[in-house]
Structure 1
Amino acid sequence: MTINCKGNLIDLSTPKVMGILNITPNSFYDGGKFQEESVVLNQVEKMLNEGATFIDIGAYSSKPNAEFVSEVEELQRILPVVQQIIKQFPEAIISIDTFRAEVAKQCVLNGAALINDISAGLLDEKMLPTIAELQVPYIMMHMKGNPQTMQALAYYDDIVKEMIYYFSERIFEARKLGINDLIVDPGFGFAKTLEQNYEVMQKLDIFKQLELPLLVGISRKSMIYKALETSAQEALNGTTFLNAIALEKGANILRVHDVKEAVEGVKLFEKLKCN
């Protein structure tokens, strides 16, 4: 199970870790921390040294009820960061967390290797054709509505069944356009209640029937700290535990704030598989 990132085949049969770099001022956990160039580059270097395969950069917070950011502002935030990272770390595999086709295109033209879209192409009709044109790996996430409306749309008769149908439809549309490398993300925390998040986690192995790599992003999310009655700052232990469950149920990529701990978890998981 491989994806092609700028000519490099990444084997996802061994799980990989994606480090999160939020360059937004208002992200739920690390908003505002990574604004200055030196701080950004130090964080990227740290994540790469700790074993991150991918660096996922986001310039538009997708937390519930996040404030709207224009396309122009998103580009102004993200392009200089992509350019700086590629200049300093030319071998880095950069993922772009955006639902806008033009942002995706400009970032890829400046060195990014894959696109991570919370809307699976439903918030910008140009996204799938753009990905087809660029021929980069594409992560499609499950969500209903948008970050401003999603939490009011968390109703399902059978959440996993409806998610499988959603992905099947989006995969069909992507394949029809000739998009080769697809990754699915169940979208923990997006248009899902606390209980629904845990139902999806419990049944995560069902998504393997899609026969695509599976990305799981639960790092320090409210599904952890609300269940534990703590905070995002205190949610690393819970994150590590649920990441282990996700690996056991077939996750191929862990998207995390804390790279070192996730990489260690993957190493131990692989050690168990070998014995």
Structure 2
Amino acid sequence: MNGDPLLIQPEGALGFIALGSAGAIFQDSNGQVIKTTLKHDVKGCSKQVIEHVRHIQSISELCIDREKSIYKALPKHPRVLDCLETKEKSLHFPFCRLGNLRDYLQHNEIDNNIRDQWVRNAIDSIAVIHAYGVIHADISPRNFLVADDLSIKLCDFAGSAIGDLQPLVEEEDRLLSTTPIGLVATFLQKLECFEGILFLTTNQPDGLDAAILNRVLLSLIYSDLNHDARKEIFQQFLQKDISIKVNVNDQQLTALAQVTLNGWQIKNTMSIACMIATKDGELRFDHV
């Protein structure tokens, strides 16, 4: 069978707004926004598709749980989107009719005073979440919502880091990559005003824009990890105090090291595996 999975709309939702890797967003009958874990109807789908969907749904549950934990830790603040209610599988927010900052910028002319205000709003929002141990995993214009008074509010903490919990999403290098929309030019304009040494790291050196490469004075190339190095990194994560029992033998560890991953990918893999394993009380090979 080759059916496609269908996204299930939560009870009380009237209209679909957006879909992301962490969850789906709908509008309800009260004019609020519901952000819910991904749930699909997999009737008629192949076994491979069903397994993939289940994996996506488990990651979505982790991300939504993380966002709920972050909102519990954060105080209410005018520069952070208010969470009106949390439920087992969802969060409820006020509806911002003007949309996100990226879309608003593309369709409206903005004077310099408003732009300056947005910079201050963004700084305030990031400062307050950092004060409570939260590191946003995806700072982007699309994750600032425009309020009716044209102030902006930071949103979407799914997958972000808090305290000792690592982020659940990987870093992105799109700012430095070849792109038709001028992000590199903006980055270089700011870089020209910078005095000092700037360290940039990337796992995608082949995709860097030529303008960026021309300004790099020293490049350090790290070779891909070999099998023994990957096994050692996996072993280090398994030996850390992760507060749950570890049930992974050496043969299974060797099998994990066969997969071509870099250190950052191994770190993310183990972080997510540990969170999934928490429900079972022990970390097993199948969690990874």
TM surpasses 0.5: no
> TM (normalized to structure 2)?
0.29
Asked which structure has the greater RCO (Cα within 8 Å, sep 6+), the reply is 1
> TM (normalized to structure 1)?
0.30
More helix per residue: 1 or 2? 1
Q: Report the structure number with the largest CA radius of gyration.
A: 2
